[in-house]
Amino acid sequence: MISIVILGAGNVATHLYKAFSNTESTSVIQWFNRSLDVITPYKNKVDITDNLNTLKKADVYILAVSDDVIAELSSQLPFENRLVVHTSGSVSVYDIDKKHKRGVLYPLQTFSKNSKIDFANVPICIETIDKKSYPLLKELTTSIGSPTKRINSDQRRVLHVAAVFVNNFTNQLYRIGHEITESEGAEFDLLKPLILETSKKILELSPFKAQTGPAKRNDKKTIKKHLKTLESKHHKDIYNLLTASIQHTHGRKKL
Amino acid sequence: MISIVILGAGNVATHLYKAFSNTESTSVIQWFNRSLDVITPYKNKVDITDNLNTLKKADVYILAVSDDVIAELSSQLPFENRLVVHTSGSVSVYDIDKKHKRGVLYPLQTFSKNSKIDFANVPICIETIDKKSYPLLKELTTSIGSPTKRINSDQRRVLHVAAVFVNNFTNQLYRIGHEITESEGAEFDLLKPLILETSKKILELSPFKAQTGPAKRNDKKTIKKHLKTLESKHHKDIYNLLTASIQHTHGRKKL
């Protein structure tokens, strides 16, 4: 049985707490947060604390806190030579105080507060400095059903940027689709099946092979019509840049 | 029983042929294409022809052909005052020769050649000039299980542009995610669950509410790290423009 202390109470911390509490091979023995309010509802299920000096001895301490406080919090932990990991995509593993054994569990998924998470859909990227810590972290993440992948710092860095493109930026394109359709009283809902299909397509085809549309076909007439339809300069700028990007990828244009 | 003649043999034409052949309330009585080769495999199931002068009398003629040839083909049809529709998102209904009753059946979905299409996931936008043609087109599209929506030309125009944003441009963001991850030997596959979740999220939340990430949080430190990670100027340009777009939407920045 792997014993775990979770530090932090945001979305990732809460989802990890729930997941690790439900396995047979792991046990969350304590939950720390600066403010007890948020975790008080769990006090009958797990030992809660807001005092670092009362932290119990555990196999692994998971710092699921804001990027900005990882370094400081790790240096404040009143022990050394135990395994301490953070869950951030963009913070270096070396930001954790060097008195600890250090690692990262980076879950590559978007977490909403209230929706249930199936960890089978949450790949967890594992990074460790010493090789010995890896098998324990692998066992930990496998226990909640996550696909796992050992990666290095450079790979985590690019995965985090790529996640912004496929998640935040994609969602902004949905937002713009919403703005454009509503401007004429058309329903954004009509686009939802297309949005789902576009994402499902890349399960079978590479994004390169999946591409269609006027930019790829170099259909200048339709591109011109679209630019005429768009009223906002801002929408036009995005249209032009992504059209050029597609044409570059498919050999129509040099950037 | 509504009788249909299909003209054209691309993805949309082929999927529509298969769908309309499988209902009890519609019958494809003829399939026309300039070149017989492509439709010859269907010759035992439907009357095929490459000669416009042999077209049979039908309730509706569906021109599922390239945008560029809709006007010409419609004027070449050797009859008048019958219902003729095209399936394009960007061509005016008035491009169809005015000797016909005119309409549009615009399926808002991406069609791949070989994959099966469930028309329950293909909203069809209906546009007609004369009101009398609408009920027949409504019955036609409902027969294959498509959600239908009556729209006007302006709405079709904005839906078509919005479709480019949520489909072609989104797919290009996947492509860039692929380029960025592969540059460090990280696996693009790790991003697939995130891609699926991002699209599913908007079934329940508006894109405005679903937004997360460094741009929305105005997390300058992470944005700076990301820009440093990106090697290509082109990727940086897209990162900057879409970050500004998110910040504009969420009140952090004027454009």
Measured between CA atoms, the residue of chain A closest to residue B66 is A219
Does B170 sit within 8 Å of A110, measured CB to CB?
no
Nearest to B186 among A115, A158, A174 (CB): A158
State the pLDDT at residue B254: 67
pLDDT grade for A38, boundaries at 50, 70 and 90:
very high
CA dihedral A210, A213, A214, A217 (to 10 degrees): 50
The per-residue pLDDT for A254 is 67
**A43 Cβ contact partners less than 8 Å away, ≥ 6 residues apart:** none
Q: How far is residue A20's CA from residue A27's CA, in Å, rounded to a whole number?
A: 6
Instruction: Report how far residue B173's alpha carbon sits from residue B66's, in angstroms, rounded to the nearest whole number.
Output: 27
Q: What is the DSSP string of chain A?
A: -EEEEEE--SHHHHHHHHHHHT-SSEEEEEEE-SSSTTTGGGTTTS-EES-GGGPPP-SEEEE-S-GGGHHHHHHHSS--SSEEEE--SSS-GGGS-TTSEEEEEEE-S---SSS---GGG--EEEEESSTTHHHHHHHHHHHTT--EEE--HHHHHHHHHHHIIIIIIHHHHHHHHHHHHHTTT--GGGGHHHHHHHHHHTTTS-HHHH--SHHHHT-HHHHHHHHHH---HHHHHHHHHHHHHHHHHTTS---
Please check whether residue B176 is in contact with residue A248, taking contact to mean a CB–CB distance below 8 angstroms. Answer: no
Q: Which residue in A204, B241, B250, A69 sits closest to A52, CA to CA? A: A69
User: Which CATH architecture is the domain A155-249 placed in?
Assistant: Orthogonal Bundle (1.10)
Give the gap in angstroms from C-alpha A45 to the nearest C-alpha of chain B. Answer: 30
> Residue A255 pLDDT > 80, yes or no?
no
pLDDT digits (tens, 9 = 90+) for A200-232: 999 999 999 999 999 999 999 999 999 999 999
Residue the block writes with tokens 């995610």:
B177
In the prediction, which pLDDT does B131 show?
Answer: 87
Q: Which among A90, A110, A213 is the nearest to B164, CB-wise?
A: A213
Mean pLDDT of A24-44: 96
Nearest-angstrom CA–CA distance, B213 and A120: 22
Q: Do B159 and A191 touch (CB under 8 A)?
A: yes
- Residue A111 burial (CB < 10 Å; 0-12/13-18/19+)? middle
> Locate tokens 């992504």: which residue?
A242
Contact A53, A78 (CB under 8 A): yes
Q: Which pLDDT score, from 0 to 100, does residue B158 have?
A: 97
Instruction: Please give the Cα distance from B235 to B182 (Å, whole number).
Output: 14
Minimal Cβ distance to A207: which of B174, B197, B239: B174
Using alpha carbons only, how large is chain B's radius of gyration in Å? 23
Q: In sequence order, what are the beta bridge partners of A101?
A: A83
B29 DSSP assignment: E
State the DSSP H helix or E strand holding residue B75, giving kind and residue range, or none if neither.
helix B70-76
For chain A, what percent of residues have pLDDT higher than 70? Answer: 99
SS3 B3: strand
* CB-based contact B164:A195 (threshold 8 Å): no
Tokens of B52: 């416009």
ipTM summary value = 0.94
What pLDDT was estimated at residue B111?
Answer: 84
Quote the pLDDT of residue B115. Answer: 75
Q: Which residues of chain B have pLDDT under 70?
A: 253-255
CB contacts of A112 in chain B (<8 Å) are 201, 205
User: What pLDDT was estimated at residue A10?
Assistant: 93
CA-based nearest distance B201→chain A, Å: 9
Mean pLDDT throughout A152-178? 97
- pLDDT, residue A112, reads 75
Q: Are B202 and A195 within 8 A, CB to CB?
A: yes
Using an 8 Å Cβ cutoff, are A143 and A25 in contact? yes
Do A191 and B166 count as a contact with CB atoms less than 8 A apart? yes
* Cβ within 8 Å, pair A160-B239: no
Average pLDDT over residues A10-29: 96
Yes or no, beta carbons of B178 and A203 under 8 Å apart: no
**b/e sequence B143-159, b meaning 16+ C-beta within 10 Å:** bbebbbbebeeebbbbb
Q: Do A185 and B233 touch (CB under 8 A)?
A: no
Architecture of domain B2-151: 3-Layer(aba) Sandwich (3.40)
Q: Are residues A164 and B201, on separate chains, in Cβ contact within 8 Å?
A: no
Mean pLDDT across the stretch A46-55? 98
Residues of B in contact with A237 (CB under 8 A): 241
What was the pLDDT predicted at B58?
98
Residue B198 with chain A: CB contacts under 8 Å: 110, 166-167, 170-171, 199
Domain ranges, ordered by start, for chain A: 2-151, 155-249
State the pLDDT at residue A113.
73
In this prediction, residue B116 carries a pLDDT of: 83
Q: In terms of CATH, what superfamily is B156-249?
A: ProC-like, C-terminal domain (1.10.1040.20)
Considering only CA atoms, give the Rg of chain A. 23
How many CB pairs (< 8 A) connect A and B? 309
